[in-house]
């Protein structure tokens, strides 16, 4: 590992987070199953891990005022945008884009429709993390890919917030099935250049969905005979009324430059 650089995204102004205070700790933890072995050297430390794999990311920042419920959307850039998935998931497409998915559960995590965010993430494959301060403590499914920080600073009492996430790339088999051998070779080519960037967006999400939204989602997914026109109109109402009201808080780039030793 030659160099690490963390900096706020240019042109982002926030009333919630002090952009100069954002810090990122990023560790490559490798993958399981199929993959190519690479040797990662950080100072005197030498580790052999599998690529593609997972990355432990810890983000901390000073607050201008408390965040009610942080929502995080992030992506990996290795010359090109790497597909991002949550740990233990084999689905390449982003989960949770449907507002009604898990709407009655603590793992409810629809993709943010914040206009500023969607403009910046146009065409990107991202990982989404919701309820990072409390749901991970009580929801077994969510614990698989969101872990509370060991410092337990999610309560905001100290004026600083720390959250820990695990971001994963698809396995070699998944990449080949979805995109072919040429894409895998492209990732290897970029990996050998030794520059990996993580872009992390933090938003403040309003409270839980209303009972009205739960009922509308139940009706929309009901197997009872309802007309196509009514179903279409109902979906438009759900998207208008039930989409989370996310306030943009912060954005940070974290770039790592490294040397990779492997038997290519």
30: helix, strand or coil:
strand
Residue count of the chain, please give it: 264
Residues 229-249 as b or e (16 or more Cβ within 10 Å = b): eeeeeebeebeeebbbebbbb
Share of the chain above pLDDT 70, in %: 77
- Give the gyration radius of the chain's Cα atoms: 20
Residue 32 has what pLDDT?
58
Share of the chain above pLDDT 90, in %: 9
CB within 8 A of 227, min separation 6: which ones?
none
pLDDT at 21 over 50: yes
Cα–Cα distance for residue pair 34/182, rounded to 1 Å: 17
Residue 180 has what pLDDT?
75
Q: At 118, which helix (H) or strand (E)?
A: helix 115-120
Question: What is the tens place of the pLDDT at every residue in 184-239?
Answer: 777 777 777 778 888 999 999 876 667 888 889 988 888 776 788 888 899 889 98
Name the phi and psi angles at 238, rounded to 5: -60, -45
Asked whether 59 and 23 are in contact (CB, 8 A), the reply is yes
Q: Where are the domains of the chain?
A: 3-206+246-261, 208-243
Structure tokens at 214: 């739960």
Residue 147 has what pLDDT?
36
Q: Which of 206, 215, 217 is nearest to 244 (CA)?
A: 206
103: helix, strand or coil:
coil
Residue 1 has what pLDDT?
62
More confident residue, 226 or 1: 226
120: helix, strand or coil:
helix
Most confident of the ranges 109-118, 138-147, 252-261: 109-118
Question: What is the tens place of the pLDDT at every residue in 24-73?
Answer: 888 877 765 566 677 767 667 777 777 777 888 888 888 888 787 889 99
More confident residue, 61 or 119: 119
More confident residue, 113 or 47: 113
Query: Torsion angle of alpha carbons 95, 243, 108, 71, nearest 10°?
Result: 80
**Positive or negative: CA dihedral 79, 83, 84, 89:** negative
Question: What is the tens place of the pLDDT at every residue in 121-164?
Answer: 998 888 888 877 654 344 343 333 333 333 334 545 467 888 88
Residue 87 has what pLDDT?
60
pTM recorded for the entire structure: 0.78
- What secondary structure does DSSP assign to 135-167, as a single string? HHHH-HHHHTTEEE-TT--TT-TTSEEEEEEEE
């Amino acid at each position: 590992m030659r160099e690490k650089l963390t900096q706020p995204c240019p042109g982002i102004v926030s009333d919630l987070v002090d952009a100069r205070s954002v810090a990122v700790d990023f560790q490559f933890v490798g993958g399981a199953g199929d993959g190519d072995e690479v040797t990662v050297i950080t100072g005197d430390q030498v580790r052999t891990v599998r690529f593609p794999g997972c990355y432990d990311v810890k983000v901390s920042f000073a607050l201008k005022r408390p965040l009610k419920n942080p929502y995080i959307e992030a992506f990996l850039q290795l010359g090109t945008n790497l597909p991002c998935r949550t740990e233990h998931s084999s689905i390449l497409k982003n989960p949770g884009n449907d507002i009604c998915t898990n709407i009655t559960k603590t793992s409810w995590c629809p993709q943010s429709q914040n206009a500023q965010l969607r403009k910046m993430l146009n065409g990107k494959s991202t990982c989404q993390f919701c309820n990072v301060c409390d749901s991970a403590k009580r929801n077994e499914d969510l614990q698989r890919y969101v872990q509370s920080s060991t410092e337990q600073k999610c309560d905001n009492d100290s004026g600083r917030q720390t959250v820990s996430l695990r971001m994963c790339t698809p396995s070699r088999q998944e990449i080949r099935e979805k995109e072919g051998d040429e894409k895998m070779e492209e990732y290897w080519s970029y990996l050998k250049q030794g520059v990996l960037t993580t872009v992390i967006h933090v938003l403040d999400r309003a409270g839980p969905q209303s009972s009205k939204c739960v009922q509308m989602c139940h009706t929309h997914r009901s197997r009872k005979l309802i007309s196509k026109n009514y179903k279409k109109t109902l979906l438009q109402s759900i998207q208008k009324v039930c989409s989370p009201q996310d306030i943009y808080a912060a954005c940070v780039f974290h770039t790592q430059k490294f040397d990779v030793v492997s038997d290519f």
